[in-house]
Chain A
Amino acid sequence: MKPDGGQLAVLAGHFALLSLFAVGGANSAVPEMHRLAVDVQHWMTDRQFTDLFALAQVTPGPNVIIVTLIGYRVAGFPGAVVATVAMCTPTCLLAYAVGRIFDRSDGAAWQTVVRRGLVPVTIGLVAATAVVVARAADTGWGTVAISLASAAIFYAWRINPVWVFVGAALLGLAGLV
């Protein structure tokens, strides 16, 4: 995979902008990542995007590492680094500045209002991530059953996700999907 400057610049631009719109965390931005990577830039297929999302979920670390995988897919190691740095830099600078200003002040009234207003938006975006991933992943009755079972398990219990993913991988290997 040969990284070319243009591709890296596109990666950097997309993720730097996207980081500022990731309200409530990296998972809120997954539908937009999907739109950019699959529909706009044609970097990968729907299925490949969903594979990367699943791999990011089974790798320990913050959710933002999905960006590293997309970057690697597009432009190898340089792409992985550029995408990750682009996704983190704008918000880290903002966090640094705001962290200094609000160091000891707890939430002013307007902060509470903004936070409360953004809660339903964040929830809508995480649900949108579920829609986008399920649409690509649930291709037949087997995968639909796995999704439903996994949703029920994670909703009902605090369980290390790795066990569920291992189980789902084995079911897949056994030809049940």
Chain B
Amino acid sequence: MQAAPAKPAPKPSLSELFVAFAIIALLGFGGVLAWARRMMVEERRWMTAEEFNETYAVCNFLPGPNVVNLSVVFGSRVRGPLGSVVALAGLLIPPVVLVTLIGMLYARFGDLPAVRHMLAGMAAAAAGLIAATAAKMAGPLFKSRAIVGPVIALLTCAAVGVMQWSLPLVLVIVAPVSIMLAAANQYWRPR
């Protein structure tokens, strides 16, 4: 294992936690994760890269917004329950205030023809953005020779996106099957 280049910084105070997560949130256009990593590992040195990866893996494993989970886990690790609340507040309050203002403007002006045209363009761009995200995530899945992953992904997409079946219903069926197949795959081909 490589030695860390510098000693990790002392534990952040509650106000430092709040400010750091608020900055992460406000810089995070279309992907807060990259900023979270940069802030916590590179700038403040509150975690090593390895600790960050492990913590993120746990948060990604849990359901719900990943970075929200990350703020809770990291906050509790350094400052207990209050740390969780403060980190979460820093991450959520500024964007929620901002997006609520945008919601107000939308409610007021959303039907003006000029605004409608701008939103039509933006919505089309948003569809492209999320499609690119899905394509990037799917890259490794389609590169490996196993057929199971792509089939599960396509079936899930068809059921939820095209057929518009209820998400809980689809997950209750698809998730256990996919996990069992992953387990079987690992059993046959131990790493």
Contacts and interface: CB of A to CB of B under 8 A. Distances in A.
A118 B168 contact: no
A62 B129 CA distance: 15
Interface in A15-35: 17-27, 29-32, 34-35
A171 B118 CA distance: 8
Contact of A169 (B91, B98, B118): B118
Interface residues of B, number: 94
Given A32-B167, A39-B164, A121-B171, A147 B61 contact: no
Contact of A124 (B27, B54, B102, B154): B154
A160 B148 CA distance: 34
A22 B156 contact: no
B179 A177 contact: no
B10 interface: no
Contact of B123 (A22, A53, A102, A106): A53
Interface in A122-158: 122-134, 136-139, 142-144, 146-155
Contacts of B102: 55, 59, 69
A60 B157 contact: no
Contacts of A90: 64
Interface string B170-188: 0100110011111100100
Contact of A50 (B99, B106, B126, B166): B126
Contact of A21 (B92, B120, B136, B168): B168
A144 B121 CA distance: 10
B137 A96 contact: no
A63 B65 contact: yes
A125 B162 CA distance: 11
Nearest to B129: A154
Given A124-B155, A133-B126, A61 B186 contact: no
Interface string B66-77: 111100110011
Which 4 A-B pairs rank lowest in CB-CB distance, beginning with the nearest?
Answer: A61-B95, A91-B64, A124-B156, A172-B121
17 contacts: A30-B130, A58-B122, A59-B95, A59-B102, A63-B32, A84-B92, A87-B64, A106-B54, A116-B182, A118-B175, A124-B160, A130-B130, A146-B124, A146-B128, A147-B125, A150-B127, A154-B132
Interface of A: 1, 17-27, 29-32, 34-35, 39, 48, 50-65, 68-69, 72-73, 77, 80-81, 84, 87-88, 90-92, 94-96, 98-100, 102-103, 106-107, 111-134, 136-139, 142-144, 146-155, 160-162, 164-165, 167-173, 175-177
